[in-house]
Amino acid sequence: MHQRWTRIASVALICLSLVSSAMGCGPGRGYGRRRHPKKLTPLAYKQFIPNVAEKTLGASGRYEGKITRNSERFKELTPNYNTDIIFKDEENTGADRMMTQRCKDKLNSLAISVMNQWPGVKLRVTEGWDEDGHHFDESLHYEGRAVDITTSDRDKSKYGTLSRLAVEAGFDWVYYESKAHIHCSVKAENSVAAKSGGCFPGSSTVTLQDGTKKPVKDLQTGDKVLAADGDGNPIFADFIMFIDRDSTTRRTFYVIETEAGQKITLTAAHLIFVASENSTRSVVFASNVRPGQKVFVYDGERSRLVTVNVKRIYTQQHEGSFAPVTAQGTVVVDQVLASCYAVIEDHQLAHWALAPVRIAHWVSSSLFISRPRVSAHSEGVHWYSKLLYHLGTWLLDDHSIHPLGMSAYPS
């Protein structure tokens, strides 16, 4: 408990220093100042991060099929001619240099980290794209989404730290696989898992103060939407902004269906409230909800939130995703109560972190009472949300952060 409040106090202090910049339209002065380097914890031999199987949604995602030089998908691969990386290229074909753009970006980032960590040492790639069938079936090497790496000096005592540097560089799955190399892989370029964060599809609806329903994508500043206060009572709260808004990308959503028929659709890393045995509220990632758990559903006749059992969970594809934030930090979407937050499994901490946004909204509302309603935030991830995510990766342990959220805000 003490550690939790220490974390909250740390984030609160940082956020209070950002109040003035949150009221503007950019990060403000001081943004980008160099921070003290993060202490690196080397991976243990045979450890992998995230702690799930490589080809699952929480890591690099499913295998999508072998790429050959004659296949249509060969255009998905791009050569990497970074002179700061040594490519073993045993085949003498340049195959090890071929990779997806995402893999290339992460590898180039890692190359810089290696040189900073060990001056005079470079990153070395021993295996990249495999066109000759040297790996096991459905290996991501066949898609140019995986690399095996070492340091140029082949100092095995460095490999644990090299693994950690690969995690920090943004690879979607890192495995200290062998005493001879580290295995790293990434999500597919078109994979919905490559960017998840926490959102609802635009077609999901919220309830306005006059009782009408409104699609999430159409929310505007000035709207009051059904939410819940700190005690779990229904309340109409100000819609403040979208911390993420993407009208075009198609991605996978979890659909949580209750025994009473309500369905809420949200991304894997989004937080949703569930009830414990004594009906107290706690939050879990949507991907962690299981049939039989209880979620909170709005009962219009009694004007209160009641608990209902989850019947089943499945996934659906939707185009467009939206992450609305209310003054309460909660929102009732399609009659089911959810948090406005995602990626970090701590609703209260996230709510503290967004305090500058609420203060800015309150000041703005007080000064410009008669302002016209406008659409809140343009396309993309809000800069403040990106900043908080990177602060979270600095202050919090890996277990507090959803694996899909790790790639939501690329560095």
* CA-based nearest residue to 123, from 102, 100, 107: 107
Quote the pLDDT of residue 73: 86
Quote the pLDDT of residue 395: 53
303 Cβ neighbours under 8 A, 6+ residues apart: 234
Indicate the range of 62-71, 218-227, 252-261, 270-279 predicted with least confidence: 270-279
Span 179-186, average pLDDT: 96
pLDDT beyond 80 at 26: no
Quote the pLDDT of residue 20: 33
d(CA 97, CA 95): 5
Q: What percent of the chain has pLDDT over 70?
A: 76
pLDDT beyond 60 at 394: no
Quote the pLDDT of residue 353: 79
Span 211-240, average pLDDT: 93
pLDDT beyond 80 at 10: no
For residue 352, name the pLDDT band (cuts at 50, 70, 90).
Answer: confident
Token pair, residue 106, equals: 């992460």
For residue 29, name the pLDDT band (cuts at 50, 70, 90).
Answer: very low
- Omega within 30 of 0 (cis) for the link into 50: yes
Span 101-121, average pLDDT: 94
Residue type, 80: N
Maximum distance among all alpha carbons in the chain?
73
Strand partners, 32: none
Residue 62, class by beta-carbon neighbours within 10 Å (0-12 exposed, 13-18 middle, 19+ buried)? middle
Residue whose pair of structure tokens reads 């095995």 in the numeric block: 156
* CA-based nearest residue to 168, from 39, 52, 339: 39
Q: Alpha carbon of 200 to those of 18, 87, 322, 346: distances in Å?
A: 27, 42, 5, 19
d(CA 127, CA 394): 31
Quote the pLDDT of residue 370: 52
For residue 36, name the pLDDT band (cuts at 50, 70, 90).
Answer: very low
Residue 406 and residue 400 in contact, taking contact as beta carbons nearer than 8 Å:
no
pLDDT beyond 60 at 407: no
* Average pLDDT over all residues of the chain: 81
* CA-based nearest residue to 144, from 68, 251, 59, 48: 68
* CA-based nearest residue to 402, from 266, 253, 269, 273: 269
CA 56 to mean position of chain CA atoms: 15
The answer, as to whether pTM is greater than 0.75, is no
For residue 351, name the pLDDT band (cuts at 50, 70, 90).
Answer: confident
Q: What percent of the chain has pLDDT over 90?
A: 50
d(CA 382, CA 27): 11
For residue 104, name the pLDDT band (cuts at 50, 70, 90).
Answer: very high
d(CA 356, CA 341): 15
pLDDT beyond 80 at 136: yes
d(CA 257, CA 263): 4
pLDDT beyond 60 at 45: yes
410 against 368, higher pLDDT:
368
Token pair, residue 69, equals: 């030089």
How many CA atoms does the CB half-sphere of 249 hold within 13 Å? Answer: 24
Q: Tens digits of per-residue pLDDT, 149-166?
A: 999 999 999 999 999 999
Q: Tens digits of per-residue pLDDT, 247-284?
A: 877 777 889 999 999 999 998 889 999 998 776 889 99
Rounded CA Rg of the chain: 23
